[in-house]
Amino acid sequence: MKDKTAFLKNKIDTNSPNKNIVPITTAIDSTNQLSIGGCSIEDLVRKYDSPLYILDEITLRNSCRAYRKALEKYYPGKSLAIYASKANSSIFMSNLIASEGFGLDAVSEGELLTALKGGVPNNKIVFHGNNKSDKEIEFAIKNNIKVIVDNNHDLKRLKEISDYFNYDIEIMIRFTPGIECHTHEYIRTGSFDSKFGFGIESLSKIFEVINTTKHIKLIGLHAHIGSQIFELDPHNDLGQIMVDVISQAKKFGHNIKELNVGGGLGIKYTEEDDPPSIDEWIRTVSLSVVKACKKNKLDLPILMCEPGRSIVSTAGVTIYKIGSFKEIPGIRTYLSVDGGMSDNPRPITYQSNYSACLVKDPLNSNSKNKYTVAGKHCESGDVLFKELELGNCKTGDLICVFGTGAYNNSMSSNYNRIPKPAAILVCDGEAEIIQRRESPHDLLKYDVLPDRFMKQS
């Protein structure tokens, strides 16, 4: 029988955390209890309650440094890693990535404001989005933030708003390079049929239109071919396509100084996953651009990439407390926890798989049972795991789910009026709160009862 806890026994790769299932500092202490960042998880739950998001600072910083080190190693020109903040946006995350020399990509005024409040320099922020509002564009322009133009409507609004305020603005053009990746349909963004970016066939017209504007300066190109990618060949192809577009833009008088190849490097959620290392991914991207620039006789642009999941996902875990059990003889046993689709919508949305274990018996040293782990929400599809193998457990025991640093907190909701969990940072035996737990009263904060209903009552 396959050992379902092998991921806890595997050697941890400190140079490329995306190839681990667990955070770098994960340990099993002398009492067979799970700890992360030198902190007992049971102690953390006693203090901060559950469900609980935990981020490991060492894993976060190692991930950032792996990108920086690889860019310095393989790309002879200037480079900048940009954190895709949609993966996990907070003042803390903005502050941490800024301290590691990263830029940040944002897709809303809220993410832009969070980045600035967290200390990310405005000249290292890029503003994405396929349907930016006028208010968001004004915010970006007034804060001298580079805008990645996604479509004709974007370009039209940028021209009108920059003319109105008489502000100059630097832009990058996002286009679809037509590269297919073997990933989930919903997160495949580089094919010709995508809601994101200009079609590559329309770029000549766009370059002409930009020449007619007063305040818009085209300095860069952007393309992104998907998420949770385990293949390297598509990124090898991407470099040549993007450099060819630089040559095309040059014919219209545009000097492209920046090339943003997006992100998309996958992580190891389960034992079956085998993503490339950060070093391998950066090497592929860098050598592809260098080779293409040499072939096209072009100077090297500033190379940008936008990792998100591969920075924060492995650094994060979610802790749940077991509640009820329901056995259906001959079919399955349900084990319910105190969270679910409101704090992790990815299983019900994408059918995503994770790895997990008991906190008190992470290696399943006693008898092994299989459970369907259900969330507490009023949806039959609120299931986090099907047939998860665990040791003997009971109501009140804790389950640790790995790889939840990305898209869990940022996609969380208040469905069923469930308050969002607290998030804490652990490092060297210390734990600090980075996002407070919501209370039921917090959920009423923006509710308003119309006056006429007040009078009736």
Q: What is the pLDDT of residues 354-368, one digit of tens each?
A: 999 999 999 988 777
Whole-number Cα distances in Å, 204 to 159, 207, 277, 281, 440: 18, 5, 36, 30, 54
Residue scoring higher pLDDT (409 or 177):
409
Question: Looking at the domain assignment, is residue 23 inside a domain?
Answer: yes
Q: For residue 10, what pLDDT is reported?
A: 85
Contact assessment for residue 221 and residue 172, using Cβ atoms and an 8 Å cutoff: yes
67 and 46 belong to one structural domain: no
Question: Looking at the domain assignment, is residue 2 inside a domain?
Answer: no
Whole-number Cα distances in Å, 454 to 187, 306, 446, 450: 46, 50, 16, 7
138 and 277 belong to one structural domain: yes
Q: What is the pLDDT of residues 213-227, one digit of tens each?
A: 999 999 999 998 888
Question: Looking at the domain assignment, is residue 449 inside a domain?
Answer: no
Reported confidence tier of residue 236, pLDDT bands at 50, 70, 90: confident
255 and 355 belong to one structural domain: no
Neighbour-count burial of 383, counting CB atoms closer than 10 A to its CB (0-12 exposed, 13-18 middle, 19+ buried): middle
Tally the C-alpha atoms within 13 A of residue 238's C-alpha that lie toward its C-beta: 32
283 and 393 belong to one structural domain: no
According to the per-residue pLDDT averaged within each range, which of 3-17, 179-193, 296-310 is highest? 296-310
**Structural domain count, the chain:** 2
Q: For residue 294, what pLDDT is reported?
A: 97
Cis previous bond, 23, omega within 30: no
Instruction: Tell me if residue 327 falls in helix, strand or coil.
Output: strand
Reported confidence tier of residue 183, pLDDT bands at 50, 70, 90: low
Q: pTM score, two decimals?
A: 0.94
Question: Looking at the domain assignment, is residue 192 inside a domain?
Answer: yes
Reported confidence tier of residue 182, pLDDT bands at 50, 70, 90: low
Question: Looking at the domain assignment, is residue 441 inside a domain?
Answer: no
Q: What is the pLDDT of residues 407-442, one digit of tens each?
A: 999 999 999 999 999 999 999 999 999 999 999 999
The domain boundary, picked from 312, 344, 378, lies at: 312
Reported confidence tier of residue 341, pLDDT bands at 50, 70, 90: very high
CA pair distance 18, 13, nearest whole angstrom: 9
339 and 195 belong to one structural domain: no
Question: Looking at the domain assignment, is residue 426 inside a domain?
Answer: yes
The domain boundary, picked from 248, 278, 312, lies at: 312
CATH of the domain at 301: 3.20.20.10
Q: Look over the chain and give the mean of its residue pLDDT values, rounded to a whole number.
A: 94
Which helix (H) or strand (E) segment is 74 a member of?
helix 57-74
Q: What is the pLDDT of residues 38-97, one digit of tens each?
A: 999 999 999 999 999 999 999 999 999 999 999 999 999 999 999 999 999 999 999 999
259 and 190 belong to one structural domain: yes
% residues pLDDT > 90 (the chain): 85
- pLDDT surpasses 90 at 326: yes
Q: For residue 136, what pLDDT is reported?
A: 96
324 and 406 belong to one structural domain: yes
Question: Looking at the domain assignment, is residue 444 inside a domain?
Answer: no
300 and 359 belong to one structural domain: no
The whole-number average pLDDT for the span 335-360 is: 96
List the one residue out of 51, 55, 58, 1 whose CA is nearest residue 25: 58
The domain boundary, picked from 312, 327, 350, lies at: 312
Q: For residue 2, what pLDDT is reported?
A: 62
Whole-number Cα distances in Å, 96 to 78, 316, 421, 428: 22, 15, 21, 16
250 and 103 belong to one structural domain: yes
Question: Looking at the domain assignment, is residue 84 inside a domain?
Answer: yes
164 and 131 belong to one structural domain: yes
The whole-number average pLDDT for the span 348-356 is: 95
Reported confidence tier of residue 456, pLDDT bands at 50, 70, 90: confident
Range of the domain at 41: 9-56+316-436
Which helix (H) or strand (E) segment is 114 a member of?
helix 109-117
The whole-number average pLDDT for the span 22-28 is: 97
Q: For residue 234, what pLDDT is reported?
A: 85
Q: What is the pLDDT of residues 187-204, one digit of tens each?
A: 455 556 788 889 988 999
Phi/psi of residue 222, nearest 5 degrees = -135, 140
- pLDDT surpasses 90 at 101: yes
Reported confidence tier of residue 180, pLDDT bands at 50, 70, 90: low
176 and 239 belong to one structural domain: yes
% residues pLDDT > 70 (the chain): 96
Q: What is the pLDDT of residues 116-174, one digit of tens each?
A: 999 999 999 999 999 999 999 999 999 999 999 999 999 999 999 999 999 999 999 99
Which helix (H) or strand (E) segment is 289 a member of?
helix 278-296
- pLDDT surpasses 70 at 343: yes
Q: For residue 451, what pLDDT is reported?
A: 87
Q: For residue 7, what pLDDT is reported?
A: 85
CATH of the domain at 386: 2.40.37.10
Active site positions, annotated: 378
Please identify which residue in the block is written with the tokens 């006429």: 452
- pLDDT surpasses 90 at 454: no
107 and 193 belong to one structural domain: yes
Q: What is the pLDDT of residues 259-303, one digit of tens each?
A: 999 999 999 999 999 999 999 999 999 999 999 999 999 999 999
